[in-house]
């Protein structure tokens, strides 16, 4: 049996958060459709990025609000963790993929967009529903289970191949880098940063965050079983 659905007191906060989550659900559902359509109805190599890229970028830009929501107390959670999750995606999407047109036809683009879209299609309905009443068990299970295949797929099949393929272009064009001498007396090499992220930061974040999400899943589903 599913746990008894409990209605909640609804105010402006709940309505706003529900509207935000429904909007994100609609956006990522559109991205999923456009990704599939671009992959199956066009012979152009960059069809998926040309078709779905704008919607994906819009949804990812809007996702910074989730860090803001946590920072101002609208939602619970870690501000740092929320920001790092947002930055991880945004780094690949804006600083690498959007900045290197040669990557738009890479096979990892549809993999990346599919993994991101399906993961968010699974979680945003749960957040929206939770503003008004306790989500049903099936939706809770989906929210806390979809990431198991989709998170590794997005990291290993999407983000890492794009970073690796993009490294020569970053070095050649000195992408997002600052060289000495300059008025700030500061130097920064984005290719080195991206390479460090690929071999050190991204694997560590993957292991730690994936382990954290598995623990959260175990706790949440155990709570569901107790209330069934």
Residue pLDDT, tens place only, 30-77: 999 999 999 998 888 899 999 999 999 999 999 999 999 999 999 998
How much is the mean pLDDT over the chain? 92
Classify residue 1: in a domain, yes or no: no
Q: Does 109 map to a domain?
A: yes
Is 7 within a domain?
no
Q: For 92-141, what is each residue's pLDDT tens digit?
A: 999 999 999 999 999 999 999 999 999 999 999 999 999 999 999 999 99
- In degrees and rounded to multiples of 5, residue 188 shows phi and psi of -145, 130
Residue 183's pLDDT is 82
Residue 34 lies in a domain: yes
Active site residue 210: no
Among 71, 90, 96, which Cα is nearest to 169's? 96
Domain ranges, residue 199 = 12-227
* Alpha helices by DSSP H, the chain: 12-40, 47-62, 64-71, 79-90, 108-130, 137-143, 147-154, 160-173, 190-196, 202-227
In total, how many domains does the chain have? 1
Q: Single out the catalytic residue among 14, 151, 179, 224.
A: 151
Residue 176 lies in a domain: yes
What whole-number distance in Å separates Cα of residue 144 and Cα of residue 132?
19
Q: Is 5 domain-assigned? A: no
Catalytic residue list contains 151: yes
Evaluate whether residue 4 is within a structural domain: no
202 domain residue, yes or no: yes
Task: Please pick, among 49, 66, 144, 159, the residue that the annotation labels catalytic.
Answer: 159
The pTM of the full predicted model, rounded to 2 decimals, is 0.91
CB-CB contact of 54 with 27 (8 Å): no
Judge whether 200 and 220 are in contact, CB under 8 Å: no
């Amino acid at each position: 049996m599913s746990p008894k659905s409990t209605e909640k007191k609804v105010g402006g906060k709940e309505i706003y958060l529900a509207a935000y989550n429904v909007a994100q659900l609609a956006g990522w559902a559109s991205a999923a459709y456009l990704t599939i359509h671009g992959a199956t109805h066009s012979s152009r190599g960059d069809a998926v990025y040309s078709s779905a890229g704008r919607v994906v970028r819009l949804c990812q830009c809007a996702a910074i609000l989730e860090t803001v929501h946590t920072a101002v107390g609208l939602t619970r959670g870690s501000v740092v963790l929320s920001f790092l999750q947002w930055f991880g995606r945004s780094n690949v999407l804006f600083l690498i993929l959007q900045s290197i047109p040669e990557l738009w036809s890479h096979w990892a683009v549809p993999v990346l967009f599919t993994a991101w879209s399906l993961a968010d299609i699974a979680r945003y309905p749960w957040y929206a529903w939770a503003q008004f009443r306790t989500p049903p068990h099936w939706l809770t299970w989906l929210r806390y289970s979809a990431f198991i295949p989709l998170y590794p797929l997005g990291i290993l099949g999407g983000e890492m191949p794009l970073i690796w393929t993009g490294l020569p272009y970053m070095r050649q064009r000195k992408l997002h880098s600052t060289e000495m001498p300059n008025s700030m007396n500061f130097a920064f090499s984005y290719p080195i940063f991206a390479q460090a992220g690929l071999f050190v930061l991204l694997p560590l974040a993957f292991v730690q965050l994936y382990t954290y999400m598995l623990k959260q899943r175990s706790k949440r589903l155990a709570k569901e079983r107790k209330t069934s």
